[in-house]
A = this chain, B = another copy of it.
Amino acid sequence: MFRPQIKVFDCTIRDGGLMNNSNFTFATVRAVYKAMCEAGVDYVELGYRNSKKMFSPSEYGVWRFCPEEELRKVVNGIDPRGTVVSIMMDAHKAFPEDLLPREKSVAGMVRVATYVKDVDKAIRLCNDAVAKGYETCVNIMAISHEGGPFLDEAFRQLEAETKAKAIYIVDSFGSLYSETVHFLIERMQMFVKTKEVGVHFHNNQQLAFANTIEGIIKGANYVDGTLYGLGRAAGNCPLEMLLGFLKNPKFNIVPVLDVIGKQIIPLRETMEWGYTIPYMLAGVLDAHPEGAMKWMAGPNKHDYAEFYRQITEDPEQ
């Protein structure tokens, strides 16, 4: 029933950090890490290793930078049972000098997030991380806006020029349907032969879990989820459902359920993620969620007809 090759990534703290400037409490991060180790989740992404030249530490919490001493405190005394710590570096917001050699780091995996246009920066970061001893992945963001020759070239370069374990399709805007998921994976597989396919989906149209299943059916072996779907705007594929679907007996769902009830549900008092009409409309229209997030923070958040008018208004007319 299950495919042992599939690796599950929890990125609750990393993607959820896009909703609170990475300002999670230490207790929450440690509880999430502990639960992932107990649940048998393969990787747990505790934040970004982005540059303080690009983000002000007075505005952003520590999980935007993941300094080694903080990571060390998180994992201290917890049996990892095979769970590997991951950090994400944005191709255009991170620098190689912020990454220590693997043996001096708590992290074992570095994921590089990139737009197609920044793929050369991503390759540089990825190769630096490989040289320093890390496992790596490259995550191609906003992929719903791609599909032409530059995407093919990015696939070709990533295949030829990196040692990444997986290349990810990232549906940043939550606009893909099963047919577009199939199309993009088939396209990638034309060029990427020696690396795994990864999938990271957003839930604007409540399709993050469904699209992850479709990815798995097409061969993706690196799959992302977050606890209770916590993530930017409509959030991500809920990790708890993914584990139920995968049926790998190595997973234990009880610590996952427990940490959701104790750590994630209380966050809803100060953070609003998940399905809303503005996020859905942004997904249908393949638009960045920023406009919808602004609308949701405004005084007329349930005036959906007005938001629709604004988001579909043609500025050239």
Which of A's residues lie within 8 Å of B, judged by CB? 177-179, 203, 205-211, 213-214, 217, 228, 238, 240-241, 244-245, 253-254, 257-258, 260-262, 265, 274-275, 277, 280-281, 284, 302-305, 308
Contact = CB atoms under 8 A, between A and B. Distances in A.
A213 B280 CA distance: 16
Contacts of A304: 257-258, 260-261
A305 B261 contact: yes
Contacts of A280: 238, 240-241, 244
B206 A253 contact: no
A206 to B, nearest CB: 5
Given A214-B178, A241-B280, A245-B177, A308 B209 contact: no
Given A254-B305, A254-B308, A304-B257, A241 B178 contact: no
A243 to B, nearest CB: 9
A277 B240 contact: yes
A228 to B, nearest CB: 8
Contacts of A228: 277
Given A178-B213, A213-B177, A265-B302, A206 B258 contact: no
A38 to B, nearest CB: 12
A177 B228 CA distance: 19
7 contacts: A179-B217, A206-B209, A209-B210, A210-B211, A228-B277, A257-B277, A257-B304
Contacts of A211: 210
A257 B280 CA distance: 11
Contacts of A260: 277, 304
A206 B241 contact: yes
Contacts of A262: 302
A261 B303 contact: yes
Contacts of A257: 277, 281, 304-305, 308
A178 B304 CA distance: 31
B277 A261 contact: yes
B253 A308 contact: yes
A72 to B, nearest CB: 29
The interface centre, meaning the residue of A254, A274, A277 with most chain B CB atoms within 10 A of its CB, is A277
Nearest to A178: B213
A217 B240 CA distance: 27
Contacts of A254: 305, 308
A277 B261 CA distance: 9
Contacts of A179: 217
A207 B211 CA distance: 10
Contacts of A203: 206
Given A240-B277, A258-B304, A304-B258, A209 B207 contact: yes
A48 to B, nearest CB: 27
